[in-house]
Amino acid sequence: MSNDAKFFSAADFALLARGEGPLKTLQPPPRLAIFGDPVAHSASPPMHNAAARARGMDLQFIRILVSPEELPGALHNLAPAGFLGASLTMPHKQKAMKMVDHLDDRAEIMGAINTVSIRDGIIRGHNTDAPGFAAAVREEFGIPLRDLRVLILGGAGGAGRAITVQCALEGCPSITIANRNPAKGESLATEIRESIGKEVASLPLDLENLRTTLSSVDLIINATPLGMKTGDSSPLSEGLLSSHHLVYDTVYSGGETTLLRQSTEAGARCANGFSMLLHQGVLQNVLWFGEPAPIENMRAALTALRN
């Protein structure tokens, strides 16, 4: 998913913070950005620029290529450059937590931030991926996340951990994570039990464990990267899904993943990560502007990228 692959450098951004360089003359003036490495593929600029146009705001959202070494400087330059905040993507979501002045209560346990906002020069860190996921489930299946028994494949990874914590905070009736590295899964389950007081079952990601678990699960979430590349296998073996399952694949890179193909063949309702991408962006937009976001304009901008 991409439109034009234009991006600026962290050095250009440092110049803007000093009132110089190529970003100073950009029109509309840049006031928001995504920091990532790589960043050229990001769908965030068209989505947030559609929101700015719908609100009649004279500003734009740009891509800035920021390496891990450049991240502290780029975050520090946000306020002097007159920015409202930034979106963070790989590889910055975990490390940025230690570089902000203030963290949302929930971001700490989620283990990652994907959004920063600037208020009175203070850099605040937020996680909108997880509540965006909950909103996506509601939109796709018409059922609140809190009513579903969930199985999270890759539940101890970056996005998986945030989703698992969101399920715990919402009070899902049962939560199981299946992680390739079971020690990471067990450690997260202990952390959630101690900090939120919610039981999470942790399993290795293998056929026999999943076969017995799936009969008592409503919603299966893929939070592994399997499906991002054409030809990727599914995190689930063939023949495990049934028509009563709901399947949410967080992958949004386009095309039908093997997991979504398995779901359709089993008669299960399924959705890809497009709606999570939209809803995490809507929540970011609300944080930056403090008012409801023009969701349909943002959705249309993302849909145009897919077609």
Written in H, E and C, the secondary structure of 286-307 is HHHHCCCCCHHHHHHHHHHHHC
Exactly one of 156, 188, 217, 221 binds ligand NAP (CB under 6 A); that residue is: 156
Q: Assess 280 for contact with ligand NAP (CB under 6 A).
A: yes
Q: Are strands 60-65 and 30-36 parallel, antiparallel or unpaired?
A: parallel
Is residue 93 part of the annotated active site? The answer reads yes
Question: How near is the Cβ of 254 to ligand NAP at its closest, in Å?
Answer: 11
* Amino acid present at 244: H
Q: Assess 129 for contact with ligand NAP (CB under 6 A).
A: yes
The two structure tokens encoding residue 72 = 């502290």
Q: Assess 176 for contact with ligand NAP (CB under 6 A).
A: no
Pick from 84, 82, 85: nearest CA to 19: 82
Residue 77 or 263 having the CB closest to ligand NAP: 263
Contacts for 295-299: CB closer than 8 Å, 24+ residues apart: 297/50, 297/51, 297/53, 297/54, 298/47, 298/48, 298/50, 298/51
Q: How far apart are CA 68 and CA 56, in angstroms?
A: 34
Residue 179 or 284 having the CB closest to ligand NAP: 179
Q: Say how many residues touch ligand NAP, by CB under 6 A.
A: 25
Written in H, E and C, the secondary structure of 68-111 is HHHHHHHHHHCCCCCCCEEEECCCCCCHHHHHCCEECHHHHHHC
**Cα Dmax for the chain:** 62
The two structure tokens encoding residue 225 = 């990267």
Q: Assess 32 for contact with ligand NAP (CB under 6 A).
A: no
| Span near ligand NAP by CB under 6 A; candidates 29-37, 51-59, 262-270, 271-279 | 271-279
**How far is Cα of residue 306 from the mean position of the Cα atoms in its chain?**
18
Name the packing angle between helices 158-170 and 182-196 (round to 10°). 30
Q: Which residue among the candidates 6, 93, 184, 198 is catalytic per the annotation?
A: 93
**Contact positions with ligand NAP (CB under 6 A) in 192-251:** 205, 223-226, 228, 235, 250-251
Exactly one of 273, 285, 298, 301 binds ligand NAP (CB under 6 A); that residue is: 273
Q: How many CB atoms lie within 10 A of CB 108?
A: 14
Residue 8 or 273 having the CB closest to ligand NAP: 273
Question: How near is the Cβ of 126 to ligand NAP at its closest, in Å?
Answer: 14
Question: How near is the Cβ of 5 to ligand NAP at its closest, in Å?
Answer: 18
| Span near ligand NAP by CB under 6 A; candidates 25-33, 75-83, 257-265, 274-282 | 274-282
Are 286 and 295 in contact by the 8 Å Cβ rule? The answer is: no
| Span near ligand NAP by CB under 6 A; candidates 49-57, 118-126, 259-267, 276-284 | 276-284
Query: Phi/psi of residue 2, each to 5°?
Result: -160, 155
Question: How near is the Cβ of 11 to ligand NAP at its closest, in Å?
Answer: 27
Exactly one of 159, 169, 189, 219 binds ligand NAP (CB under 6 A); that residue is: 159
Q: Assess 145 for contact with ligand NAP (CB under 6 A).
A: no
Q: Which chain residues interact with ligand NAP by CB under 6 A?
A: 129, 154, 156-160, 179-181, 184, 205, 223-226, 228, 235, 250-252, 273, 276-277, 280
Report, as residue numbers or ranges, the catalytic residues. Answer: 93
